[in-house]
Structure 1
Amino acid sequence: MKEYKFLRILDKFEKIYTKIGVDYDKMRLILSMKLTLDSRRTSTIMQDQNKNNNEEDKNIFNRALIIYAIMGIFIGITAMVSFNNMYKFSILFGMFMFLVLTIFISDFSNVLLDIRDKNIIGTKGIDNKTINAAKITHICYYIFLTSLALSWLAIIGSFRQSPLVGIIFILELIVIDVFMIVLTALLYLLVLRVFDGEKVKDIINFAQIALVIIMTISYQFLGRMFDIVDLNIIYKSKIWNLFFPPMWFAAPIYAIEGGHINQIIIALIVLAIIVPIIAIILYIKNTSKFENSLSKLNIAKDNEKEKKRGLFYKIGRNLCFNNEEKAVYDLSTSIIKKEREFKLMTYPSLGFVVIFPLLFILIFSVDSFSEIKNISLHMSLNIYWFIFMVPTILMALQYSKDYKAAWIYQSTFVNDKRNIYKGAYKAVISNLLLPLYLLESIMFIVIFGMKVIPILIIGFIFMLIFIVIQHIISKNKLPFTLKMGEIDKGQNIISTLLGMVILGVAVGVNYFILINTYLLIIYGVILTIITFIMWKKCILDFSTN
C-alpha cells in the first residue's frame, strides 16, 4: 500500500491521539486505506465523470484544488489592500469560514455520517474513538488542502504585512478548519441524540441549510459594523461584535498591528481561543456517543402515507392528467423526500435561493433596517433570483444512487415518455419549489405590501415556463437514470448561461411594465397561455434508450 506524506507528518502528533484514547496504529492503517480508496474513485467535489477511475495515481480532487486556487486569487486581493486590519481580516475570515463550511457540508458530510465504518471496521475490535478519529482526520486532510488552495494569496498578503501577522493568520486558518468541522459535528450529534429514525436525515439536511444561511447573513452584517469617513474605514467596537466569529479571529491581528485595545477586543481574542478549545473538548468526549447515534440513520419508518396526505402533495398529484404522470409523480416524490444524496445536492442550494433575494434587497437598498419600508417596488424583481436555481434542480433530478433501477422505464409500458418528465417536474414543483416560493412570497409581502402580489404571481408563472425552457436547452435525460458524478460540464455551463440570458430578458420586461397595473395583468395572462402551450407541446423526450 502506498505510503503517504500526510501520514508521516501525522506521526509527529501520535502522542496527542494516544492521550485522548485513540489507538494510533489502527487509525493510521484505516487512514492509509481510505486515502488509497480515494485515489481510485471519482471525486464528489468535482462531480465529473472519470472513465479511468481505476488508476491509483489519478485523483480528480487535484483538479478541484486548481479551481479553489483560482478562487483564492479573488479572496487574496482583499489581503493585498492596505486598510483597517479589523475590517480586512474580518472580511477575509468571514469569506473563509463561509467557504469551508459550505464545502464541508456539501462534500464531506457523507463521510462524517457514514455508518459503514462502524458496521465493518467496528466488528474487528476497533473502538468508536479510533473510528471517529480516522473520519475526522480524513476530512481534515482534504479540508486543509482546500483551505491552502483558497488562502494561498491571502497568506502571501499577510506575510507582506509582517511575518508575525502571516504566522498568526496561518495558525488561525488551521483553527478555523478544525472549529468548523467540530462545530458541525456537534450539531449533527445534537440532532442524532434528540431525533429518531428517518426524521434524523431530514433534520440534518435542514440543519445544514440553517448553518449556511446563518453564515451568509452574518457575513453580510460584517460590513455594516464599520464606518466609512472620508474613504477611511473606521472600526468602533460594539458589544454585539462578540456574536460574529470572523471578528474573533480578526481581533488578534488587529491588536498586534497597533489597533486600539479595549475590553471588547480582549473579549474577542479570548473567544477566538476558548470557544474552539471548548468545542474540540466537547466533541472528543462525545465521539463514542456520536458513532453509536449514527445507527439511527439505519432506522426507517414507513411514514410515506402520512406524508402523501400533505396539501402540497395533493396539489401536485391533482395536476397530473393521466396515470403515467401520477405513477412517476409518486416515484419522484418518494425519491425527493427520502434519498439523502439528492437532498445533499439540492437542499443547501434551496436554502440559498430563499435567502439571496432578501440579501440583495438588504445590501443594495437599505443602510439600516428602519429604511425597509421605503424600498422601491422595483427591488421586488429580486424574486427572480429564486428562479435562477431551476437549472440546478433539474440537473440533480437526473441522478440517483440507485440509477440502475432505471430499467423500470423500459420494462413498464409507457405510451409517451414525456409523461415521465412531466410527472417528475410536477413532483419537484409541488414538493420543493412551491412551498419555498410561498415562504419567499410571504416575506416579500411583509416588505413591500400587498402591491407586490401581481409580481409574485407573474414570477411563479414564468418559473413554470423556465422549467420547460431549461429542459429543452439542457436536453435532460430521464429522471434518476444517471450515476452520481456523471455530469456533462460543457452542456451544463452552456445551458446555465443561456438560462441567465433568458432570465435577464424576463426581468427587463417585468421592470418596464412594473408601473402599469393593466400591463401587468395582460402580461400575466399571456404568460399563463404560454405556460399551458409549452407544458403540453414543448416537453420533449431526449432519452436515447
Structure 2
Amino acid sequence: MTTLILWLLDRVQSLFRLLGADYGQLRAIVQVKLIMDNRRSLVSLGRYGKPSAESNSNFTRVLGIYTLVGGLISLAMLSTPERDMLFFPLTLQFSYIMALCAMTLISDFSSVILDSSDNQIILPRPVGSRTLWLARIVHISSYLFAIALSLSVGGVLVIGYRFGALAALTFLTMSLLSAVLMVFLTNVFYLVLMRFINEEKLREVINYFQIVMAVLFYGGYQLLPRLIDSREILTQTIEHTWWHYLIPPMWMAATVDVFIQPILDSTHIIFGSLALLMPFAGLWFMNRFLTANFTQKLSGIDNESQSEASPLSAPRTQSVRTNWLEKLATWATTNALERAAFTFTWRITGRDRKFKLKTYPQLGFGLAYVVAMSFQSRSIGSSGFFYLFALYFAGLYVMVAQYQLGISDNYKASWIYGSAPIQAPGDVLSGSLKALIIKLLIPFYTLLASYILYRYGLDKINDVLLAFSNSLIMLVSAALLSTRYMPFSVAPDALKQNNTARGLLVSIVLAIVGLSHFGLTLVPYGVWVAIPASVFTFWYILHQYKKTSWERVEMG
C-alpha cells in the first residue's frame, strides 16, 4: 500500500508545489509515517492488539469488514427502490460513509493529526508549516480513500447492475469526495480549536468529543436497521427546502441521482455544484487561512502545565476540590492506605484520557442499547421482564472499567508500589475499586435506573436496588477471580487477549443471577427480603478482596 500511495503522489506532485509545499520533504515525511503505521494497532479492531515488528494486517482486516458491512447496507437500501425513489436511500448511504470516515478520523487518527512527537526531528530542519500540514493531510487521506472505497464497493456493484457504468462511476467519485469533505470538516474542527482554545485544554476537549461521537455513532448503528426495516421511509418522496442545501450527503446523493433518473433541474445542478466544489474549496480554505502557525501550535499541545487561571484563584480551586475528595475518601474507606488509593484512582481516572476513551463510551453503549431495545416491539424489549435483563446486561459494560483499572501507558511508574512500605496491597486494591464504584458505577446505574423507573413504573424500585447490589457482587467477584494487578501498573499490550472464557463465565453467572431475581419477583416480598442478603454478600466478598496479600498480586 505504501508503494501505491507514493506512486500516486508522484503523479500529482505539481499540485503540492502549487499549494506551496516542498514536495521532496512532503514525500519523505509521508513515507516515514506510512512505514510507522505498519507497527501501530488500530482502535477499529480492539484496544490491545499487538502489531508485529514490521507489518500489520489490522488495516486490511478492517477494510474487509467495511467492505462486507457496506455491501450489506448498500444491498438493503439501493436494490429495491425505483429509480425515482432513490434520493433518500442514497442520502443514507453517503451519510453512513461520511460518518464512518469521521469516526475513523476521531478514533484512530486524531492523535496522528495532533501528534507533536516528531517535532523534535522536523522542527530543527527547514520544513515549512504548510509542508508539514499537507503531509499530515495526505497521510490521513490515503487511509480515508481506502475506507471510502471499501464502503462503496457494494453500492458501486448494485448501482452499476441496475443503472449502468456511468451512474456507478459517479457513485464511486462522490464516495471519494465524501472522504475529502470529512478531512476538511474534521480538520476545521481541530484547527479552530487550536486557534481559540488553550493548549492545556485542547486534548481534553477532543477526548470528550471522541466519547460523545462514539456514543452517537453507536446510537446511529442501533437506529439505522430500524430505518432500513421501514420501506415507507426508504421510498418516500422528499420535497426539497432551503436547509437541505446545508446537508453534504444530499449533495452527493443528488449528483448520483442525476445519472440514475436521469434528470437535470436547478435543484440537482445546485446540489451537484456543491458536491464537486466544496471538498476542494474546503482544502483550499484550510491551506490558505488555517495553517498559519500550525507547527507552533502543535509544539505547544503537550505543554499541559500552563494554565490560564490566575495565581490566586488556581490554588483556591484546587484546595476546594482536594477537600471535597478527601471528605468523600474518608467516608468511603477505613484506613489511610485505602484512602490514599481511593484518591489516587479518582484523580488518575479523571486525568487519563485513554482510560476515559476506553471506558466511558462502553457505558454510553450500554445505555443506548437498553433504550433502543426497549422500543423494539418484536424483541425481548417487549417482554415483561426486559427491565431485569437491562439491569443485569448493563453490568457487563461496567466490568470493562474494572478491567481497565490495571492498565496504563505510564506503567513504568508502578515501581513505587515495590519501594513504598505497603504491607497490605489489598487496601490499595479495595480503595481503587471503591473509587471506581462511586465514580462510575453509581452514576451509570442512577441513569439506567431513572430510565427503567420512568418507563416501567416506580414499583420496580426494589428490583433496581437488588440488581444494583447483585452487580456490585459480580464486579467484586470478577476482581477476585481475575489476575490481580496493582492500579495502573500494566502495559496495554501485556494483558492476555483471550478473555472469551472469562467473559462467557461472567455472562453465565449473570444469567443465573438474573433468572433467580426473576423467580423472586414471583414470591411476595421476595425481592425485598433478598436485598439485605445481597448487601451482606457484597460486604463479605469485598472484605475478602481486601485481604489480598502480595503473593496473590502479579506485578506488571
TM-score normalised by L of structure 2: 0.80
Q: Does 1:257 align with 2:260?
A: yes
Greater Cα offset, 95-104 or 299-308: 299-308
C-alpha distance in structure 2 between counterparts of 1:520 and 1:259, whole Å: 65
Q: Which runs of structure 2 are paired with 1:334-345 in the superposition (5 Å)?
A: 334-345=347-358
The count of residues paired between Structure 1 and Structure 2 equals 531
Aligned to 1:83: 80
Cα deviation, 1:463-519, whole Å, max 9, x if unaligned, reads 3223223324543533222223334221x2332333333344444445565687833
Task: State the identity as a percent.
Answer: 23
2:523 and 2:268 map into 1 onto residues whose CA distance is 53
Which residue in the other structure is 1:331 paired with?
344
**Alpha-carbon distance between aligned partners in 2 of 1:217 and 1:524, rounded to the nearest angstrom:** 33
Matched, 1:168 2:170: yes
Aligned equivalents of 2:161, 2:320: Cα separation in 1:
58
Aligned partners of 2:20, 2:67: CA distance in 1, in Å?
Answer: 37
2:433 equivalent to 1:425: yes
Q: Counterpart amino acid of 1:63?
A: N
Match of 1:73 among 55, 68, 71: 68
Aligned match of 1:288: 292
Q: Larger Cα Rg: Structure 1 or Structure 2?
A: 2
Alignment match of 1:352 (pick from 348, 358, 365): 365
Give 1:133 deviation, angstroms. Answer: 1.7
- Out of 324-333 and 349-358, give the one that drifted further: 349-358
Q: Counterpart of 1:489 in 2: which secondary structure?
A: coil
> What is the CA-CA distance between 1:40 and the residue it aligns to?
4.7
1:242 deviates by 6.7
User: In terms of mean alpha carbon deviation, does 4-13 or 382-391 score higher?
Assistant: 382-391
Structure 1 residue 445 displacement after superposition: 4.9
> How far has the Cα of 1:154 moved from its partner?
4.8
User: Which residue is equivalent to 1:369?
Assistant: none
Q: Note if contact 1:93-1:249 (Cα within 8 Å) is conserved in structure 2.
A: yes
Which amino acid in structure 2 is aligned with residue 253 of structure 1? V
| Contact 1:380–1:444 (8 Å) recurs in 2 | no
Relative to 1, partners in 2 of residues 1:183 and 1:429: Cα closer, same or farther, differing over 3 Å?
Answer: farther
- 1:412 Cα shift? 1.6
Which residue of structure 1 aligns with residue 311 of structure 2?
Answer: none
Partner AA of 1:416 in structure 2: A
Task: Judge conservation of contact 2:392–2:467 (CA < 8 Å) in 1.
Answer: yes
- What TM-score results when the alignment is normalised by the length of structure 1? 0.82
Structure 2: which amino acid aligns with 1:32? Q
The Cα offsets for residues 412-466 of structure 1, whole Å up to 9 and x where unpaired, read as 2322323332222223233333334434444555555544544443443333223
User: 1:286 deviation in Å?
Assistant: 0.8
**Which residue matches 1:109?**
110
When residues 221 and 502 of structure 1 are mapped into structure 2, their CA distance, relative to the original with a 3 A threshold, is same
CA distance in 2, matches of 1:133, 1:256: 34
C-alpha spacing 1:51/1:357, structure 2 compared with 1 (3 Å) = closer
Give the secondary structure class of the aligned counterpart of 1:124.
Answer: coil
CA-atom RMSD, angstroms? Answer: 4.0
Structure 1 297/41 Cα, relative in aligned 2: closer, same or farther at 3 Å? Answer: closer
1:44-63, aligned counterparts within 5 Å?
47-48=47-48, 50=50, 53=53, 58-60=54-56, 62-63=57-58
For structure 1, the residue ranges without an aligned partner over 5 or more in a row are: 367-371
Matched residue SS, 2:124: helix
2:303 alignment partner in structure 1: 298
Say which is worse superposed, 278-287 or 308-317, in terms of deviation: 308-317
Residues 25 and 67 from structure 1, CA distance in 2 versus in 1: closer, same or farther, beyond 3 angstroms? closer
Structure 1 window deviating more from structure 2 (447-456 vs 119-128): it is 447-456
Mind listing any 5+ residue stretches in structure 2 that lack a counterpart?
A: 308-313
Query: Quick one: distance in 2 between partners of 1:376 and 1:328?
Result: 42
- Map 1:192-211 onto structure 2 (within 5 A): 192-211=194-213
- Does the CA-based 8 Å contact 1:155-1:169 persist in structure 2? yes
> Deviation per CA, 1:68-119, whole angstroms, max 9, x where unpaired?
4145324312333522244654454444444333333222211112122345
Question: After the TM superposition, which of the residue ranges 144-153 and 260-269 deviates more from structure 2?
Answer: 260-269
Which amino acid is 1:463 matched to? S
